[in-house]
């Protein structure tokens, strides 16, 4: 174990609405210092900017409008980073603030740059404290929540473990004995059915987004853990192997970097619908998507754009880079390889989405 990402929810960092829990942050910083002594690098993904802004403005419930949430974040973020700095200082550690946007990470050189900055902070022995740049992220370009952001950071930085610490003690077996499930080796539809959303006034995540995040992390080769962030010494206990919360094993065949990039860092510009035969070819036979199985498309996209591939019930089953634009799709739908050859004699590759740039969701 060399590198861990610790995600802390607003409910763990604040008391009531928007009042910072300095004692809790102090305890967490003490544990971070201990982890660093074990030669493990720590990255923190900290929520709480909007919650702290709400507290400063005296708001009792999370505002609905994006502009109000962004205003709260603008007020709360500077308070939040100061709390982290105050908590880390007694341990001779510095906090380094990184505010990310989804849009930024889609662009290859910004993604590489964010990774380089984080690596540099870690080699200065600084604790990166990461959040979404909430005050400038518009809805359509938002990560959505910090569970997903934390998993993307774990994937970006090739971390070994992701700890999601919130008010949830772990994944609860609601179909069975009502206890926390200690280990999950794979996120199956049965496991996903155990998750439900949050109704807290400051939180946005909930178990559904936690499991999505964990899927992303474990598919990137990173193990993950959900546990109650208010429990004493929780980080150290998890690292010592104590059975607490739910542990999720890393996939033994993680996606290569390019496929992770496609699956998790890109937003599709549209979708291509396919028939049952093509679904089978993609899912079971691990083939490329050919024009013969294409039935239609929606959205406007160009050659090289990322699109979702939908099955016959419009469920996204895969994502990939298309070789054909949305204008061309209606001409090539249902066409055989020979027909395509005579339509595009100058094109060398006629797969609609080649397997090398296709990832199953
Ligand atoms: N970025 C948001 C904040 O700092 C939190 C989002 C989340 O908790 O998922 O308030």
CA quadruple 59, 61, 63, 69: dihedral sign: positive
Residue 151 Cβ contacting ligand 1 at under 6 Å: no
Name the residue of 131, 138, 203, 229 whose CB sits within 8 Å of the most ligand 1 atoms, as the mutation to test its pocket.
131
Domains of the chain and CATH, by start: 3-259 (3.40.1160.10), 268-360 (2.30.130.10)
Centroid of ligand 1 to alpha carbon of 309 (angstroms) = 30
Residue 18 Cβ contacting ligand 1 at under 6 Å: no
Q: Are strands 316-321 and 358-360 parallel, antiparallel or unpaired?
A: antiparallel
Q: How far apart are CA 54 and CA 213, in angstroms?
A: 26
Centroid of ligand 1 to alpha carbon of 212 (angstroms) = 16
Closest by CA to 167, choosing from 4, 14, 45, is 14
**Neighbouring C-beta atoms of residue 343, cutoff 10 Å:** 14
Residue 10 Cβ contacting ligand 1 at under 6 Å: yes
Residue 100 Cβ contacting ligand 1 at under 6 Å: no
Question: How far does CA 22 lie from the centroid of its chain?
Answer: 27
Residue 132 Cβ contacting ligand 1 at under 6 Å: yes
- State the residue for tokens 């973020």: 77
Question: How far does CA 118 lie from the centroid of its chain?
Answer: 17
Name the residue of 50, 68, 76 whose CB sits within 8 Å of the most ligand 1 atoms, as the mutation to test its pocket.
50
Residue 135 Cβ contacting ligand 1 at under 6 Å: no
Task: Report the predicted TM-score, pTM, of the whole model to 2 decimal places.
Answer: 0.85
Digits of tens for pLDDT over the chain (361 positions)? Answer: 899 999 999 889 998 878 889 999 999 999 999 999 999 999 999 999 999 999 999 998 889 998 999 999 999 999 999 999 999 999 999 999 999 998 888 887 888 899 999 999 999 999 999 999 999 887 666 777 899 999 999 999 999 999 999 988 999 887 778 899 999 999 988 898 888 765 555 555 678 889 989 999 999 999 999 999 999 999 999 999 999 999 999 999 888 887 888 888 888 999 999 999 999 999 999 999 999 999 999 999 999 999 999 999 999 999 999 999 999 999 999 999 999 999 999 988 899 999 999 999 8
């Amino acid at each position: 174990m060399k590198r861990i990402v610790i995600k802390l929810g607003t409910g763990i960092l604040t008391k009531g609405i928007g009042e910072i829990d300095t004692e809790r942050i102090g305890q967490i910083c003490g544990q971070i210092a201990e982890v660093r002594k074990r030669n493990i690098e720590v990255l923190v993904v900290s929520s709480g900017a909007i919650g702290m802004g709400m507290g400063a403005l005296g708001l009792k419930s999370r505002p609905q409008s994006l502009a109000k949430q962004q205003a709260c974040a603008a007020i709360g973020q500077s308070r939040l980073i100061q709390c982290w700095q105050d908590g880390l200082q007694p341990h001779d550690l510095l906090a380094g603030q990184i505010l990310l946007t989804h849009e930024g990470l889609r662009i290859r050189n910004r993604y590489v740059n964010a990774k380089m900055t984080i690596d540099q902070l870690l080699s200065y022995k600084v604790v990166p404290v990461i959040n979404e740049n909430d005050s400038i992220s518009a809805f359509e370009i938002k990560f959505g929540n910090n569970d997903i952001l934390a998993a993307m950071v774990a994937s970006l930085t090739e971390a070994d473990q992701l700890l999601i610490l919130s008010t949830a003690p772990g994944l609860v077996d609601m179909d069975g004995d009502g206890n926390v499930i200690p280990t999950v080796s794979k996120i199956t539809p049965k496991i996903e059915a155990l998750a439900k959303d949050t109704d807290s006034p400051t939180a946005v995540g909930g178990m559904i987004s936690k499991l999505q995040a964990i899927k992303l992390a474990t598919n990137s080769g990173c193990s993950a853990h959900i546990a109650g962030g208010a429990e004493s010494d929780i980080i150290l206990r998890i690292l010592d192997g104590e059975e607490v919360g739910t542990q999720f094993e890393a996939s033994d065949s993680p996606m290569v970097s390019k496929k992770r990039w496609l699956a998790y860092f890109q937003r599709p510009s549209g979708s291509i619908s396919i028939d049952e035969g093509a679904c089978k070819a993609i899912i079971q036979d691990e083939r490329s998507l050919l024009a013969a199985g294409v039935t239609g498309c929606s959205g406007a996209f160009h050659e090289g754009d990322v699109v979702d591939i939908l099955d016959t019930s419009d469920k996204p089953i895969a994502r990939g880079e298309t070789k054909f634009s949305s204008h061309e799709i209606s001409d090539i739908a249902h066409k055989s390889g020979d027909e395509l050859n005579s339509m595009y004699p100058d094109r060398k590759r006629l797969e609609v989405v080649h397997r090398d740039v296709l990832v199953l969701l």
